[in-house]
Amino acid sequence: MNFNNMKLYQAIILCCAGWLSVSEASAQERLSLSLAQCREMALSQSEELQQADNRLRQAELDNEIATTAYLPKIDGSAIGVYMLPDMDMTGMDLRMRGTYMAGINLTQPIYTGGKITTGKRLARIGGEVAREQQRMTRMDILVEADKAYWTYIAVARKVRMLESFSAQMDTLYRQVSTACRAGMTTENDLLRIEAERSDVLYQLQKAKNGEDLCRMSVCRIIGVEFDTQIEPTDTLITLSEPTSLSADISLRPEIALLEKQIETDKQQIRMAKADMLPTAGMKAGYMYYGNIKLEGMTTTGDGTSQPFSQEFQDGQWTAMLSVSTPVFHWGENRKKARKALYQLINSELELQKNSRLFNIEAQQAIRNMQDGQRLVRTAAIGLRQAKENLRVTQNRYASSMVPLSDLLDAQSQWQQAESNLIEAQTQCKIYETEYLRATGNL
């Protein structure tokens, strides 16, 4: 082997090794995924759920902040003063050049008209609202994950079915082509099969494109790269026996949120009424000051004048009790209370309106479940009949008892029946998730 041939051989080996490594890397990107894993991954990577978690943490902090309103507050202060010119104090100069003051204050509310307790209740309701919003967000994510998972399975099953149908058409094409060359059939039959094959290939390509889009949708929801190959493991669809379905919507987070809004509005009325009541508080503190000088001339006992200077440096304790009572504000506080009352009435009306809508939604979800189960049973019967019809027609066609058109019709009916069952089964699973969502049990 000469030098050039050796270089070519090495290049071929390197290319093959590179292709094998790429193939191995692609194989490593395949992900087996069950429905439970799909749900778990969707929840773990959802930005919406993370935001809901953060809102819940914020509500918990608001509750802790509201608790601190009961407790005394301690503040410290420090002040430096340099004032010019000096102040005249009955013939003497009060000098505050570099005067400093430092102190500490304690403030304790005694009575606020119920604002503190009302604020605490509002903070508690805010935490409950955040929890219900988190639960609602979680349900929305699960519904989206289930729809994407079952839709991907449905389209993938259609692709496999069309591939099987395409293989049958290829076999039939070879058989008819052989018979045509032997003069046992007409060229028209061969052209008809070619047209059917082209239509099946067209449907297969559309289904494959749809399968790839559904796969990327699942990748987006579970938070993996879009080129990851998803292999669903829950492809065997089993439907539970029909049972009595309840339209109770009391567990829906939307109902709880509307009820919490009514509670909030009631507390807002109390907050508005609290502005009409007196408030009382106590304040105590200690202030230390220094570098305050009083300078001037003073007269001694013998009538002579001499310079006088005194520096003040001391600390003082203070305690104060204050009571404030609103007297006349042009009806502002009463109008605020009436405004809050109207908001409460609107919230109650909103609950009534949405309760009817949610009841309709739950009833529709029940009907969808029942219709979906009936469609599955009907589609299964239709598929069994289509399979039997195809088997009989194939035997008769092989015995030259029926024309080619009957066989093609039987195959088309089998394809449609298989497609109907796939759609009915996967749609029924989606209906099941939507029913659980509509009744607040997801």
Q: Report the distance separating Cα 6 and Cα 52, nearest Å.
A: 64
In-domain check, residue 311: no
Helix ranges restricted to H, 283-403: 332-398
Among 236, 265, 291, residue at a domain's last position: 236
Is-cis flag, bond preceding 307, omega within 30? Answer: no
Q: Are strands 92-95 and 87-89 parallel, antiparallel or unpaired?
A: antiparallel
The CA–CA distances, whole Å, from 289 to 99, 296, 402, 434 equal: 7, 21, 116, 72
Residue 177: CATH number of its domain: 1.20.1600.10
Is 34 domain-assigned? yes
What's the pLDDT score for residue 379? 95
**CA 390/CA 410 separation, integer angstroms:** 5
Helix or strand holding residue 77 (H, E):
strand 73-82
Q: Does 418 reside within a domain?
A: yes
Residues 6+ away with beta carbon under 8 Å from 343: 265, 268
The continuous run of DSSP H or E covering 8 comes out as helix 3-27
Cβ neighbour number for residue 404 with a 10 Å cutoff: 19
* 82 plus 207 within the same structural domain: yes
Of the candidates 309, 435, 269, 297, the one whose C-alpha atom is nearest the C-alpha of residue 367 is: 435
How many whole angstroms separate alpha carbon 117 and alpha carbon 122?
Answer: 9
Measured CA to CA, the distance from residue 426 to residue 421 in angstroms comes to 9
Q: What is the DSSP string of 176-222?
A: HHHHHHTTSS-HHHHHHHHHHHHHHHHHHHHHHHHHHHHHHHHHHHH
Query: Is there a domain that residue 286 lies in?
Result: no
User: 200 and 339: one domain?
Assistant: no
Q: Which residues contact 373 (CB under 8 A, 6 or more apart)?
A: 239, 242, 428
CA distance to 108, 149, 151, 376, per residue, from 239 (Å)? 65, 16, 16, 9
Q: Are residues 157 and 262 in the same domain?
A: no
Take residue 265 and report the two structure tokens written for it.
Answer: 């509005």
pLDDT score recorded for residue 15: 45
Residue where a domain stops, chosen among 182, 215, 236: 236
Amino acid 435: pLDDT: 94
- Give the β-pairing of 97-111 and 73-82: antiparallel
> In terms of domains, do 184 and 203 share one?
yes
On whether both 256 and 171 belong to a single domain, the answer is no
Specify whether 175 is located in the same domain as 246. no
Same domain, residue pair 132 and 242: no
Q: Is 57 domain-assigned?
A: yes
Q: Residue 258: inside a domain, yes or no?
A: yes
Radius of gyration in angstroms for the set of CA atoms belonging to the chain, rounded to a whole number = 42
Q: Distance (Å, rounded) from C-alpha 351 to C-alpha 33?
A: 40
Give the CA distances from residue 258 to residues 105, 249, 253, in Å, rounded to whole numbers and listed in that order.
43, 13, 9
Rounded distance, CA 409 to CA 404, Å?
Answer: 9
Q: What is the pLDDT of residue 241?
A: 66
Asked if residue 265 and residue 145 are part of one domain, the reply reads no
Note whether 386 and 419 are within 8 A (CB). no
Domain count, the chain: 2
Give burial (CB, 10 Å; 0-12/13-18/19+) of 166. Answer: middle
Q: Look at the block and give the residue holding tokens 């902090």.
A: 61
Burial category of 90 from C-beta neighbours within 10 Å (exposed 0-12, middle 13-18, buried 19 and up): exposed
> Which residue matches tokens 């609290």?
274
**Distance (Å, whole) CA 156 – CA 133:** 35
Question: What per-residue confidence (pLDDT) applies to 329?
Answer: 87
Residue 264 lies in a domain: yes
Answer yes or no: do 129 and 271 share one domain. Answer: no
The predicted structure's pLDDT at residue 242? 61
Looking at 183, 218, 236, the residue that finishes a domain is 236
Domain that holds residue 369: 237-277+326-442
**Do 172 and 241 have their domain in common?**
no
In a domain, residue 197? The reply is: yes
Give the residue ranges of the chain where pLDDT is below 50. Answer: 1-28
Q: Are residues 252 and 183 in the same domain?
A: no
Q: Kindly state whether residues 141 and 188 are assigned to the same domain.
A: yes
